[in-house]
Amino acid sequence: MDASLLTIQPNAPEPIYRQIVEQLRRLIASGQLLAGELLPSVRDVAGFHAINPMTVSRAYGMAEAEGLLERMRGKGMVVAATRKPIQSESQRLALLEAQLQELARHVNELELPADPVLRRLAKLLGD
């Protein structure tokens, strides 16, 4: 994996370390990162994105604690061997939960009924 695969938005309300973990989760779930694949070093990620290396270490540490990554002696971090692309629909759907809740909140704020929103969403998904 290359450090450029990550997108960092420093001014987003979400802390950078969470942005990294979230993206690792998605990349692994979607199979873009495969079990055993080597992650870029903390230095590479920090250097490429001009971010504090401690932030990257923190993200890797959290991903390791979650079982997404494993530390390989002398090599660095790799995608955990037990990680397979998530096949089950419900598990993949769960990764969208935050975004769906956010969307629902906006819909409620705009006092829109569900139907037109769902129709529009269906159209977007159909394309």
Partner 1 sequence: MNAVLQEVTNTLDAPLVARQLVHGYEGQNVLDGVDLGLTPGSVLGLIGRNGAGKSTLIRAMLGLLEPLSGSAFVFGEPALKLSDSAKSRIAYVPQQPEALAWLTAAQMLDFVGRFYPRWDAPFAKTMLERWKIQPNKLLAKLSPGERQRVDLIRALASQPQLLVLVLDEPAAALDPVARRELLRELALRAGESGTTVLFSTHIVSDLERVASEVAFLHNGKLLLRCGVDDTKERYGRLWIPAKMTAAAPAQSLSKRRNEDGSLSLIVERDAQGHWPEAATLPGARIDALGLEDLFVEIAE
Nearer to partner 1, 56 or 86 (CB): 56
User: How many C-beta atoms lie closer than 10 Å to residue 74's C-beta?
Assistant: 5
Q: How far is CA 23 from CA 19, 26, 33, 55, 123, in A?
A: 6, 5, 11, 14, 26
Helix (H, G, I), strand (E, B) or coil at 115: helix
Nearer to partner 1, 93 or 103 (CB): 103
Shortest distance in whole angstroms from residue 56 CB to partner 1: 9
Q: Which residues bind partner 1 (CB under 8 A)?
A: 8, 10-18, 42-43, 46-47, 49-55, 58
Nearer to partner 1, 46 or 78 (CB): 46
Shortest distance in whole angstroms from residue 46 CB to partner 1: 5
Shortest distance in whole angstroms from residue 53 CB to partner 1: 3
Nearer to partner 1, 58 or 83 (CB): 58
Query: 39 exposed, middle or buried (CB, 10 Å; 0-12, 13-18, 19+)?
Result: buried
CA angle 45, 80, 27 (to 5 degrees): 55
Shortest distance in whole angstroms from residue 68 CB to partner 1: 19
